[in-house]
Amino acid sequence: MTRTPGRAVEVAVLAGGGVALAVTNGDHVVTVAAAMALVYAAAARVLWPLRAELDRPARARILLRPRLGRIVAAHLAVPAVLVVAGGTVGALGAALAGGLPSHRGALAALLAVAVTPVVTFCAAMSARRGGRLSESVFATAVGTDPSGGGFVVLGWLALWPALGAALGAAPVIAAVKGTGGDAIVLALAVETAAAAALLGTLRDDPPDA
């Protein structure tokens, strides 16, 4: 990242803008989801080292380095830190500007920053599949999709961005729109389970490694 400082600035702008937009519009579901899509885009901008490892998986075996799953997981640290830092700046900016919702605004801002690593993991899962349709997805697209495969391919492309936006938006919406603490607790439980499942998958070796 020291060789591409402009990309770090992009991450700060996208993640900070996304979190700020989410917490200042916490009662608008679509806007919060779109804001978290910006956070997803921020993470995707700095996951190129992970993609570089996956594009040449044989290199990990030739150089006798740790298994590929561990290398992939190690590449998550810098993107997660950058996204959290950018999100924190965005949340603080929204708070200083007086844009936080009157109902649990501070909690919504805290949650919006806290879930950015989960959004980053979703972006990493998209990068992990390497931009290639699996044989099973291709067979489904050809054999069952009445559109000739278009719907299946679009769904395949949208899966991780949509899931990242949904996971990022849920706690913020629960904090602002929820009438009690149960919705927030449930949202946090879902986030924790999702983070553990995603990180566990990312630490496993890719199928073709």
Examine residue 17 and state whether it is found in any structural domain, yes or no.
Answer: yes
Examine residue 208 and state whether it is found in any structural domain, yes or no.
Answer: no
Instruction: Considering only residues 60 and 174, tell me which one the structure prediction assigns the higher pLDDT.
Output: 174
The domain tally of the chain equals: 1
Q: What percent of the chain shows pLDDT beyond 90?
A: 46
Examine residue 91 and state whether it is found in any structural domain, yes or no.
Answer: yes
Which residue segment(s) compose the domain that 15 sits in? 5-203
Examine residue 48 and state whether it is found in any structural domain, yes or no.
Answer: yes
Token match 């990312």: residue?
A: 202
Give the mean model confidence (pLDDT) for residues 147-158. 70
Distance from C-alpha of 33 to C-alpha of 5, rounded to nearest angstrom: 28
pLDDT over threshold 70, residue 21: yes
CB 91 within 8 A of CB 112: yes
pLDDT tens digits along 135-151: 666 566 555 656 555 66
The pLDDT assigned to 164 comes to 95
Distance from C-alpha of 126 to C-alpha of 3, rounded to nearest angstrom: 24
Distance from C-alpha of 122 to C-alpha of 103, rounded to nearest angstrom: 29
56: left (phi over 0), alpha (psi -120 to 50) or beta: beta
Give the mean model confidence (pLDDT) for residues 185-208. 86
pLDDT tens digits along 35-91: 999 999 999 988 887 776 666 655 555 554 666 777 777 888 899 999 999 999 999
